[in-house]
Chains A and B, each alone.
Chain A
Amino acid sequence: MTEQTETKHEWPLWEVFYQPKDGKPFEHAGSVHAPDAEMALQNARDTYARRSEGIAFWVVPSDQIVASAPEDAGPFFDPANDKPYRHPQFYSVPRAVKKRK
């Protein structure tokens, strides 16, 4: 059992996302190892949904995930900071506006 032959048979890693309920966004659950997509889905169900935690799954080969770098977090999201006018709190309206019954 050499390192090389064993590595050949190591199942690839998949990231698992589940949808908790109809209409909800998919959430990351964790990862599973599986030889192909079909078995990744089955392993995901057995591992992450033993108590009906989800109604749908996505599995994605882990090496296909592209992520932003944590050290860039500041500059990367910076443009959002100087646009306070995107939030409703930015605006003041007369306090007296009431619904007519």
Chain B
Amino acid sequence: MDTQEQLDDFQKRIDAGEKIEPKDWMPERYRQQLIRMMSQHAHSEIVGMLPEGNWITRAPSLKRKMVLLAKVQDEAGHGLYLYSATETLGVRRQKLVEDYLYGKAKYSSIFNYPTLTYADICVIGWLVDGAAIVNQTMLAKSSYGPYSRANLRICKEESFHKKQGYEMLAKMADGTPEQKKMAQDAVNRWWWPTLMMFGPHDTDSPNSAELIKWGVKTKTNDELRRHFVDRTVMEAEAIGITLPDPDLTYNEETGHWDFGDIPWDEFWSVVKGDGPMNRERMKARRKAYEDGAWVREAAMEHARKKKLREEKAS
């Protein structure tokens, strides 16, 4: 059991801006919350490869193919940084993966939407990765050392993702009327799901207050969302794209953009597993894991035999 004295000392360290490292004492609840949040983040990076991988063979040029390949490889890398950071909390990688594939571990609901056209790939880069950067920049200041460092590394790479998406969308929005229509259609479909990526309103978010108290998060869902909207409105304007929200208006008093109601019913139904792609995504991930089992086993066996041969030879 954590004693009050331990909890108070821990809170003092957090309030003083100290980073918590894997071997430091921490409240059990802090550890559990981190495992939940960090592994969820890792799962999201991994599942995020699916909607984009879908377009690698159909990217419009060799350059765009190379860019998309590099981006998908980055997502795998981000997943690995985060799994590796989560393991420092004393939980095994295999357990994390199995909780996700066969248990109840979650991933970001944004990846449960389909990528219907190539413009969706542009919009994912601009909006989805743009939102992810806002979130991860905040998490790079997280109180848990390994999580903070993993996010720092991710942020450095993520800006490439956002920029390539924004560049492509700008080109498309500047193209033929048909291309422009395609770009606008993709933005219309991804705008609201992107805003949902920041999570429920602060008043409806069960974990937020605790995570902020412990410095795991340093800003609330609504603060991050507002920051994202402020930034994105200008970027949309610059390339002649409109955002599908009639209530979007600049508020002179606050200096921020006010926006309309987010369709939360849709959010909760996707979170609960009824999004357009939930089942397919999970099926694809399970298949990849199970079909890859022989590779993992063979590699272990190969390593064992090689070691035996070396021992014999010496």
Q: Cα distance A30–B88 when bound, in Å?
A: 10
Q: Cα distance A18–B70 when bound, in Å?
A: 21
A11-B300, A36-B303, A51-B157 given; A31·B84 CB < 8 A: yes
Q: Cα distance A30–B149 when bound, in Å?
A: 9
Are B299 and A47 in contact, CB atoms less than 8 angstroms apart? no
Closest CB in chain B relative to A51 CB, distance in Å = 7
Task: Scan residues 260-314 of chain B and give those whose CB is less than 8 A from a CB of chain A.
Answer: 293, 296-297, 299-300, 302-303, 306-307
Instruction: For B21, give the chain A residue with the smallest CB separation.
Output: A70
Task: Scan residues 47-62 of chain A and give those whose CB is less than 8 A from a CB of chain B.
Answer: 47-48, 50-51
A11-B300, A36-B306, A39-B299 given; A70·B23 CB < 8 A: yes
- The answer to whether B50 has its CB under 8 Å from any CB of chain A is no
Are B307 and A36 in contact, CB atoms less than 8 angstroms apart? yes
Are A47 and B24 in contact, CB atoms less than 8 angstroms apart? no
Are A69 and B81 in contact, CB atoms less than 8 angstroms apart? no
- The answer to whether A78 has its CB under 8 Å from any CB of chain B is no
- The answer to whether B227 has its CB under 8 Å from any CB of chain A is no
Per a CB cutoff under 8 Å, which of B93, B150, B302 touches A10? B93
Are A9 and B300 in contact, CB atoms less than 8 angstroms apart? yes
Question: A-B pairs with CB below 8 Å: how many?
Answer: 57
A30-B150, A67-B23, A70-B25 given; A9·B80 CB < 8 A: no
- The answer to whether B85 has its CB under 8 Å from any CB of chain A is yes
Task: Give the residues in chain A near B77, CB-CB below 8 Å.
Answer: 46-48, 50
Number of interface residues of B (CB under 8 A): 29
Q: Cα distance A101–B293 when bound, in Å?
A: 74
Are A32 and B296 in contact, CB atoms less than 8 angstroms apart? no
Instruction: For B73, give the chain A residue with the smallest CB separation.
Output: A50
Task: Give the residues in chain A near B306, CB-CB below 8 Å.
Answer: 36
- The answer to whether A6 has its CB under 8 Å from any CB of chain B is yes
Task: Give the residues in chain B near A92, CB-CB below 8 Å.
Answer: none
Task: Give the residues in chain A near B146, CB-CB below 8 Å.
Answer: 30
- The answer to whether B87 has its CB under 8 Å from any CB of chain A is yes
Are B302 and A70 in contact, CB atoms less than 8 angstroms apart? no
- The answer to whether A81 has its CB under 8 Å from any CB of chain B is no
A6-B94, A33-B93, A36-B307 given; A47·B300 CB < 8 A: no
7 example contacts (A-B, Cβ-Cβ < 8 A) are as follows A8-B300, A11-B296, A30-B149, A30-B150, A31-B87, A46-B73, A47-B77
List of 10 A-B pairs having minimum Cβ-Cβ separation, nearest first: A35-B303, A36-B303, A35-B299, A30-B84, A31-B84, A70-B24, A9-B297, A35-B300, A70-B23, A10-B94
